[in-house]
DNA sequence: AACGATCCCTGTTGGC
DNA sequence: TGCCAACAGGGATCGT
């Protein structure tokens, strides 16, 4: 499932391939993939002919800065991945967008469920799309404990829902939110405003180690549908998860049984033994 | 403003 | 065995 570590792993694989190269053309096979543009041709027209100056990331968004102040934005949704290939190589099913680069490379976006998208935005459009909607990055720009306390104070929504709210912190999804809460020993259904300063500190302290562990192991791959690295390898973090997907299994820390509950229509996994 | 529900989409899974 | 409903989930949007 592409969350921050998977997007960052993708960014690191792609960076040496795309930076400095020119986008010769973009082939959008499924119009839904560029649905954030009102005019369907806008995406391909805007990226064509521009050199990629850098490849960055904010939360789960991959941001290619193109010459002429256009940002090539990719969000992988829940089933998207990017693959690097040579023209003519066999395409994976659900190859929905192909970006052709100078030097004989292609970046292919494969996304069966089409929750992901690509866009090409001007600086004004970037402000419009990100301003107020996408918060500070959970890895590179994590808010301080005091700042988090400000975001959580008075909130009645469950802390799990607040961690998934990209305005609070950007980059966390269902898997890593469960892992972070487990590491911090906090129940997912606790109202955000009920957390003590010490608990918020523990929560903050859990974010980086969990995300870095995910990144170190190449991300989390669930079955053959989901996330893969651009070189086709599956991430290995699935086997190291402490909470997510381990319903009924023993907690690795205290031996308690991991439970699954539904919060905001999302499954949450937690240990009654050590998360309070 | 905050919160919760609903929708989009399709491969996989589980029940009958 | 085969069919079909349920499920998974990020983010936009809408109603309360």
**pLDDT tens per residue across span A183-193:** 999 999 999 99
Q: What are the domain boundaries of chain A?
A: 4-130, 145-271
- CA nearest to nucleotide B4 C1': residue: A264
CA of A148 to C1' of B7 (A): 31
What integer pLDDT is reported at residue A220 of this predicted model? Answer: 60
Q: Which two tokens stand for residue A253?
A: 């820390």
Segment A197-218 mean pLDDT: 93
CA of A136 to C1' of C10 (A): 17
Q: For domain A4-130, say whether CATH 3.20.190.10 is its number.
A: yes
| Residue A15: C-alpha distances to residues A8, A74, A196 (Å) | 10, 14, 41
State yes or no: is A38 an active-site residue.
Answer: no
Alpha carbon distance A77, A1 (integer Å) = 9
| Residue A148: C-alpha distances to residues A119, A133, A174, A202, A268 (Å) | 31, 16, 19, 11, 21
> Where residue A228 falls among pLDDT bands split at 50, 70, 90?
low
Q: Which fold has domain A145-271?
A: Helicase, Ruva Protein; domain 3 (1.10.8)
What integer pLDDT is reported at residue A265 of this predicted model? Answer: 85
Question: pTM of the entire structure?
Answer: 0.93
CA of A40 to C1' of C15 (A): 30
What integer pLDDT is reported at residue A233 of this predicted model? Answer: 59
> Where residue A111 falls among pLDDT bands split at 50, 70, 90?
very high
| Average pLDDT over all residues of chain A | 90
> Where residue A225 falls among pLDDT bands split at 50, 70, 90?
very low
Alpha carbon distance A37, A225 (integer Å) = 27
């Amino acid at each position: 499932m592409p969350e921050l570590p998977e997007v960052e792993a993708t960014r690191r694989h792609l960076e040496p391939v795309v930076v400095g190269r020119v986008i010769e053309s973009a082939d959008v096979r499924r119009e839904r993939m560029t649905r954030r543009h009102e005019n369907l041709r806008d995406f391909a027209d805007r990226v064509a002919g521009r050199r990629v100056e850098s490849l960055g990331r904010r939360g789960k968004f991959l941001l290619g800065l193109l010459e002429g102040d256009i940002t090539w934005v990719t969000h992988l949704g829940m089933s998207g991945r990017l693959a690097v290939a040579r023209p003519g190589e066999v395409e994976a099913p659900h190859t929905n967008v192909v970006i052709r680069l100078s030097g004989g490379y292609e970046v292919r976006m494969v996304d069966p469920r089409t929750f992901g998208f690509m866009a090409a935005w001007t600086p004004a459009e970037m402000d419009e799309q990100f301003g107020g909607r996408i918060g500070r990055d959970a890895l590179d720009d994590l808010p301080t404990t005091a700042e988090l306390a400000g975001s959580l104070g008075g909130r009645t929504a469950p802390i799990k829902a607040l961690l998934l709210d990209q305005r609070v912190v950007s980059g966390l999804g269902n898997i890593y939110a469960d892992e972070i809460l487990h590491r911090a020993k906090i129940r997912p259904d606790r109202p955000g405003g009920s957390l003590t300063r010490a608990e918020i500190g523990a929560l903050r302290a859990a974010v980086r180690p969990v995300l870095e562990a995910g990144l170190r192991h190449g991300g989390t791959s669930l079955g053959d549908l989901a996330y893969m690295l651009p070189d086709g390898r599956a991430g290995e973090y699935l086997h190291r998860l402490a909470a997510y997907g381990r319903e009924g299994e023993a907690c690795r820390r205290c031996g308690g049984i991991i439970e699954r509950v539904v919060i905001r229509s999302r499954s949450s996994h937690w240990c009654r033994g050590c998360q309070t």
